[in-house]
Structure 1
Amino acid sequence: MYLLYDLIWLVAATVLIPWYLLRRFCGGKNRKGLRERFGWYAPHRLAPLQGRPVLWLHAVSVGETRAAVSLIRALKQTYPEHALVLTNVTETGHAIACDIDEVDLSLFFPFDISWAVRRVLRQIRPDIVVIVETEIWPNLVRCAKRASIPMVLVNGRISDRSFPRYLKVRFLLRAILNRFDALCMQTRQDQQRMLALGASEGHVAVTGNLKFDMSCDGVGALTPEALRLAYKLSTETLVWVAGSTHPGEEEKILHAFHEVRRQGVALTLVLAPRHPGRAQEVGELLDSHGLTWVVRTSLDKYGDVLKDGAVLLVDTVGELLKLYAAADVVFVGGSLAPVGGHNVLEAALLKKPVLFGPHMQNFREIARLLTEAGGGKMVAEQELVDELVRLLTDPEARKTMGAIGYDLLLQHTGATERTVQVIRRVLSAEV
Structure 2
Amino acid sequence: MVYLLYDLILLLAAIVLTPYYLWRGLKYGKSRRGIRERLGRFAPESLRRITGRKVIWVHAVSVGETRAVVPLLRELKKGYPEHALVLTNVTETGRSVAAGLDCVDLCLFFPFDLSWVVRRVLRRLDPEIIILVETELWPNLVRQAHARNVPVALVNGRISDRSFPRYRRVRPLLAPLLKKIVLFGMQTELDAERVRRLGAPPERIRVTGNLKFDMAVPEIGDGELARFRSLLGLAPEAPVLVAGSTHQGEEELLLQAFEVCRAAHPALRLVLVPRHPERAAEVGELVRSRGFVPVLRSQCPQNAAGEGVPVVIGDTLGEMLRFYALADIVFVGGSLVPIGGHNILEASLLKKAVLFGPHMNNFKEIAQLVLFAAGGRQVDDLDELVAALTDLFGDREQRERMGRAGHALIERHAGATARTRSCLDDLLGSGR
| TM-score, structure 2 as length reference | 0.96
**Match in the other structure for 2:102:** 101
C-alpha displacement of 1:306: 4.5
Aligned residues: 430
Q: Indicate the residue corresponding to 1:145 in structure 2.
A: 146
* Alignment-derived partner of residue 110 in structure 1: 111
RMSD in angstroms over aligned alpha carbons?
A: 1.5
Structure 1 distance, partners of 2:127, 2:328, is 45
Match of 1:267 in 2: 268
Q: Residue 326 of structure 2 aligns to which amino acid in structure 1?
A: A
Aligned to 1:278: 279
Distance 1:47 1:222 in 2: 40
Conserved? CA contact 2:134–2:154, under 8 Å? yes
Runs (4+) of structure 1 exceeding 4 A deviation are 220-223
Which residue identity is paired with 1:388?
Answer: L
5+ long unaligned stretches in structure 2? none
Distance apart, 1:264 and its partner CA: 3.6
The CA deviation at 1:222 is: 5.8
* Alignment partner, residue 159 of structure 1: 160
The aligned residue for residue 23 of structure 1 is: 24
CA distance in 1 between partners of 2:194 and 2:333 (Å): 27
- Aligned partners of 1:207, 1:314: CA distance in 2, in Å? 34
Deviates more, 1:126-135 or 1:399-408: 399-408
Task: Measure, in 2, the Cα distance between the counterparts of 1:258 and 1:347.
Answer: 23
Is the 1:150–1:427 Cα contact (8 Å) retained in structure 2?
A: no
Could you tell me which residue of structure 2 aligns to residue 304 of structure 1? Answer: 305
Q: For residue 425 of structure 1, what is the aligned residue in structure 2?
A: 426
Aligned to 2:324: 324
The answer on whether the counterparts of 1:98 and 1:106 sit within 8 Å (CA) in structure 2 is yes
Which residue of structure 2 aligns with residue 346 of structure 1?
Answer: 346
Q: For residues 379 and 24 of structure 1, do their structure 2 counterparts lie closer, same or farther at Cα, with a shift above 3 Å needed?
A: closer
Structure 1 residue 223: Cα displacement: 5.4
8 A contact 2:230–2:307 mirrored in 1 = no
2:371 aligned with 1:377: no
- Which residue of structure 2 aligns with residue 32 of structure 1? 33
Q: For residue 108 of structure 1, what is the amino acid of its counterpart?
A: F
Letter of the 1:240 counterpart = L
Distance (whole Å) between structure 2 residues aligned to residue 73 and residue 57 of structure 1: 12
Taking the aligned partners of 2:260 and 2:163, their CA distance within structure 1 comes to: 37
Please give the alpha-carbon distance, in whole angstroms, between the structure 2 residues aligned to 1:239 and 1:264: 10
- Other-structure match for 1:219: 220
In structure 2, C-alpha distance between the alignment counterparts of 1:318 and 1:264, rounded to whole Å: 30
Aligned-partner residue type, residue 42 of structure 1: A
Q: Distance in 2 between matches of 1:116 and 1:353?
A: 46
C-alpha separation in 2, matches of 1:336 and 1:290: 23
Partner residue in 1 for 2:235: 234
Q: Distance in 1 between matches of 2:138 and 2:328?
A: 41
SS in 1 for 2:283: helix
The superposition leaves residues 79-110 of structure 1 with CA deviations (integer Å, 9 ceiling, x where unpaired) of 11100000011111000001000000001110
Q: CA deviation at 1:63?
A: 0.5
Partner-residue secondary structure (3-state), 1:92: helix
What is the match of residue 185 of structure 1?
A: 186
Q: Is contact 1:224–1:327 with CA below 8 Å preserved after alignment?
A: no
- Whole-Å separation in 1 of the counterparts to 2:206 and 2:155: 10
* 1:397 maps onto 2:398 in alignment: yes
- Superposed CA deviations along residues 142-167 of structure 1, whole A, max 9, x for unmatched, are 00000000000000111111111111
The Cα of 1:196 is off from its aligned counterpart by: 1.4
Contact residue 218 and residue 321 of structure 2 kept, 8 A = no
TM-score when scaled to structure 1?
A: 0.97
CA distance in 1, matches of 2:243, 2:425: 39
Unmatched 5+ residue regions in structure 1? none
Structure 1 range deviating more: 295-304 or 385-394: 295-304
2:252 corresponding residue in structure 1: 251
Deviations 1:149-208 (A, max 9, x none): 000000011111111111111111101111100011111111111111111111111100
Q: Secondary structure at the match of 2:358?
A: coil
Give the Cα separation in 2 of the matches to 1:145 and 1:38. Answer: 20
Aligned position for 1:5? 6
Partner residue in 1 for 2:293: 292
Percent identity, please.
54
